[in-house]
Structure 1
Amino acid sequence: MKTMILFTVLFGTLLFQMGCTEPYQIETVDYENVLVVESTITDQVKPQIVKLSRTSSLDNTDVLTENNATVTVVGNNGDNFSFFQDNETGFYISNQSFRAQPNASYTLNIITQDGKRYTSSTVTLPPSVEMDEVYTERIVSPTDDKDGVQVLVNTQDPTGNSKYYRYEYEETYKITAPNPSRFITEITNYNLNTGTYDVELIEREPEEICYSTEISTGITQTTTTELNENRVFRFPVRYLSKLDAKIQTRYSILVKQYVQSVEAYTFYKIVKDLGSIESLLSQGQPGYVAGNMNAEANPNEKVLGFFEASSMTSKRIYFNYEDFGLGKPPYFVDCEVLLLDYNDNTTLDNDPDEREALYYYVTSKNYQVIRLAQGTIYTVVPPECGLCTSFSSNVRPDFWED
């Protein structure tokens, strides 16, 4: 998470302006190094996560993780959960799995490595609302050039207690390499003077089937406060073009629904309206938005982000492009197939030096050999086309259904 330029925004004014069409009045200020906090604890028993980072200047594109902080979540029911920093992601993860309990309030406490203390406002868990349905429809809309598949959600809370919703998703898709390679190619004994070398093809099981998972970015929210009934109906959470390679074989999406407090909903909405692109506080975020985190020693110190408790439910669905009468989408990359003859080592025939080209494509571009003919003619393809593990994983997810 990053914020490249900070702005001063009066939170109360923004609340007033949320229902207006007038643009926000934002005052630009100089860059400041500010702590960024992002955390949602849920009513699901799992390791909970707190993300800490620092804002950076406009010319710095790196994510500045806040390291070596002491992080705890404390409940008024006596719960006290400590967190450790994961070396791989930099996130802070609870030492034990836990869930936010109904009728309890929680506070996030942070002590940074320089000794500064930060505390959130107390948050409570909103009521849980089960999603009624996650489903798909073919959509053709000439007005916005859409032609593909829309994933939609229906939800209803007959009690009327839950009115604010945020959605995330995890999409997993099956990949079938169009030109699977059954060889590991090793080039040895390269002679710089003569341009000769040895090619060894080692038989292996072709890695033809892979699975990739991606997590949604951005902020997707809705509210029922202005509706006649407390019902989310046909709410779009994901659109996939008919040309999207992700639906080329088989596609699955896990939709997560978070019931939010009005404070959390308002914070996320303002961040989105100010220009969030990829995450809660992305590098495209053009403003400072007051959240519910405060510096204990200096109430005037800016702290970005929000700590919330949210009840979460999820549903997973699967579909294939044939289910909607669509044609097979193109593959992720252009799978050019090259036939290169090792014995062709000259350009005098107005043809490229194929021996040199073979060496270049295999050693520099990781092209995969899919066929050998006449002992010297190699058929090669880009790595994504012959070896799906070059950009994905051949480990089948436990949940996957064909």
Structure 2
Amino acid sequence: MLRRLIYILLLLPMACIDPFKVEVPEGQQLVTIEGIIHNGPGPHAISISRSATYGSVFEGLIRPVTGATVVIRDNEGRITFLEETENSRGNYFTPAGFRAEIGKSYTLQIQTVEGKVYSSLPERVLSSPAIENVSLKTVTIPVEGEIIPRSGVQLISEINDPAD
């Protein structure tokens, strides 16, 4: 019995696996743009950041893109400049009185400090259909192996959304 234990203890260090070093080619740092404008009161915010490559020391960190020129252009040629504040790096805000108008198309255009230009496709602002009815429904879902079922509330809104 002791002899078997000695053999096992001697073979254990030989069973280790050498770590495999993965070499990933440096990827491209992509620009990420997030935001929305709507016909509600402003200011509306557009956030611009840069992605990190896999294995980078910056992986998982949000790196804001600062100093960019950000404009919103409508289909009638009107231009609205968005401003970046000192307290909110990488976030660009419309003026307080800016509202998107239903039926107009808007294009977002960004020029970074490096001179790269990004432009969205025109997007038309559509009116949302009116809510005709709102109702609540309690839902009970039996759970296998438990005495007490799961329950919740379901909120149901009815709208008449035209096909166009």
Q: TM-score range by the shorter chain?
A: 0.5 to 0.7
- Note the C-alpha offset of 1:96: 3.3
- Alignment match, 1:128: 128
- Alignment match, 1:160: 163
Q: How does 1:230-269 map to 2 (within 5 A)?
A: none
What SS is found at the alignment partner of 1:52? strand
- Note the C-alpha offset of 1:160: 2.7
Structure 2: stretches of 5+ with no match in the other structure: 1-24
**Equivalent of 2:153, from 144, 150, 166?**
150
- Note the C-alpha offset of 1:130: 2.4
Q: How does 1:2-401 map to 2 (within 5 A)?
A: 31-59=27-55, 60-90=59-89, 91-133=91-133, 136-142=136-142, 147-161=150-164
Q: 1:155 to 1:100 in 2, by over 3 A?
A: farther
Q: 1:149 to 1:134 in 2, by over 3 A?
A: farther
Q: Decide whether the 8 Å contact of 2:26 with 2:54 is kept in 1.
A: no
1:323-376 deviation digits (Å, cap 9, x = unpaired): xxxxxxxxxxxxxxxxxxxxxxxxxxxxxxxxxxxxxxxxxxxxxxxxxxxxxx
Separation of aligned partners in 2, 1:30 and 1:134:
52
Amino acid at match of 1:33: Q
Q: 1:71 to 1:158 in 2, by over 3 A?
A: closer
Q: Which has the higher contact order (CA 8 A, sep 6+)?
A: 1
Q: Decide whether the 8 Å contact of 1:43 with 1:101 is kept in 2.
A: yes
- After the TM superposition, list the runs of 4 or more consecutive aligned residues in structure 1 that deviate by more than 6 angstroms: none
Amino acid at match of 1:38: E
Q: 1:54 to 1:136 in 2, by over 3 A?
A: farther
- Note the C-alpha offset of 1:84: 1.2
- Note the C-alpha offset of 1:137: 3.9
- Note the C-alpha offset of 1:135: 5.1
- Alignment match, 1:270: none
- Note the C-alpha offset of 1:149: 3.0
Q: Decide whether the 8 Å contact of 2:103 with 2:125 is kept in 1.
A: yes
Amino acid at match of 2:160: D
- Percent identity for Structure 1 against Structure 2: 21
Amino acid at match of 2:41: V
1:200-257 deviation digits (Å, cap 9, x = unpaired): xxxxxxxxxxxxxxxxxxxxxxxxxxxxxxxxxxxxxxxxxxxxxxxxxxxxxxxxxx
- Note the C-alpha offset of 1:88: 3.7
TM-score (norm: length of structure 2): 0.67
Q: Decide whether the 8 Å contact of 1:137 with 1:151 is kept in 2.
A: yes
What SS is found at the alignment partner of 2:140? strand
What SS is found at the alignment partner of 1:42? coil
Structure 1: stretches of 5+ with no match in the other structure: 1-28, 162-402
What SS is found at the alignment partner of 1:126? coil
What SS is found at the alignment partner of 2:37? strand
Q: Decide whether the 8 Å contact of 1:136 with 1:149 is kept in 2.
A: no
Separation of aligned partners in 2, 1:123 and 1:37:
15
Separation of aligned partners in 1, 2:52 and 2:133:
41
Amino acid at match of 1:44: G
Q: 1:153 to 1:106 in 2, by over 3 A?
A: same
Q: Decide whether the 8 Å contact of 2:107 with 2:122 is kept in 1.
A: yes
Q: 1:141 to 1:47 in 2, by over 3 A?
A: same
1:85-118 deviation digits (Å, cap 9, x = unpaired): 2344432111233222123211111011112111
Separation of aligned partners in 2, 1:66 and 1:153:
41
Separation of aligned partners in 2, 1:97 and 1:112:
25
The alignment covers a number of residue pairs equal to 133
1:110-147 deviation digits (Å, cap 9, x = unpaired): 01111211111111112321234555443332359972
What SS is found at the alignment partner of 1:85? strand
1:153-182 deviation digits (Å, cap 9, x = unpaired): 413225333xxxxxxxxxxxxxxxxxxxxx
Separation of aligned partners in 2, 1:80 and 1:154:
37
